[in-house]
Amino acid sequence: MKSTLFALGLTAISGAVAADPATACPPLLDLSVRRLAGEEVVNLCEAYRGQVILVVNTASKCGFTPQYEGLEALYRKYRDRGLVVLGFPSNDFLKQEPGSEEEIAKFCRLTYSVEFPMFEKVSVTKGSATPLFERLAAAGAPYPKWNFYKYLIDRNGNYVDYFASLTSPDSKKVAEAIEKLL
C-alpha cells in the first residue's frame, strides 16, 4: 500500500513537472533568430507556434529572386488563415547575397514590397548551416542546393515537405500543400 501511494505520488509529481504537450516547444522551432538589419531577437516558438510556416533561403542577385513576389503573394493570401513565410538571406551560392543586411532589407522592401518576416543573413549549406537549417536536415529535409528552397512546417512544428528552387511559390503544388495544412 505504501509503495503504491509512493508510486502515485511520484506520478503526480512527474506529471506536474512534465511539459504540457500543447504548450511544449517543438524541437525544430526551439531557437531564437535576429530580425534582418535589426537587434530584435525572435523566439520562433513564441512567435510562430501554431502557424503553418514556409521557411525560405533567399538571395537578392539570383535568377530566382523574382520569387520574392510569389512568396509575398502567398503570405498576403494565407496569413489570416495561419501561414507565415520566414525569409533567411544567404550568400552561400555564388555569392548572390553580397550586401549588408540593411541593403537586403531595403531591396526586399522597395523592389518586392516584402512584408513577411525576414531574418539575419545565414549559412544554409551542410557543414556550416545555422541551427534552423541543421534541424530541418535532421528532420529529413535536404540541405538547400541553391537559393529559394522552400520548407513547409505544420502547425505542430513538424517538417512536412520542401520545394526546390525551380518550384515557384505560386505553383499549384505549393498552394495545395499549404491549403492542406491550413
Please report the domains of the chain, with CATH numbers, ordered by start residue: 22-181 (3.40.30.10)
Q: One digit per residue, pLDDT tens: the chain, 182 residues?
A: 444 444 444 444 444 444 565 678 999 999 999 999 999 999 999 999 999 999 999 999 999 999 999 999 999 999 999 999 999 999 999 999 999 999 999 999 999 999 999 999 999 999 999 999 999 999 999 999 999 999 999 999 999 999 999 999 999 999 999 999 99
pLDDT at 23: 73
Sign of CA dihedral 22, 74, 160, 91: negative
Which pLDDT score, from 0 to 100, does residue 9 have? 43
- Cell 526586399: give the residue: 108
Q: What's the alpha-carbon Rg for the chain, to the nearest Å?
A: 19
> What are the grid coordinates assigned to 151, written together?
520548407
Cell of 68: 520574392
DSSP letter at 123 equals -
> Active site includes 62?
yes
Place of cell 528552397: 149
**Burial letters for 63-78: b for 16+ Cβ neighbours within 10 Å, e otherwise?**
ebbebbbbbbebbeeb
Sheet of 83-89, strand order = 83-89, 52-58, 150-153, 159-163
Catalytic pick among 25, 45, 62, 108: 62
- Record the pTM: 0.88
| Distance in angstroms (rounded) separating the CA atoms of residues 29 and 41 | 14
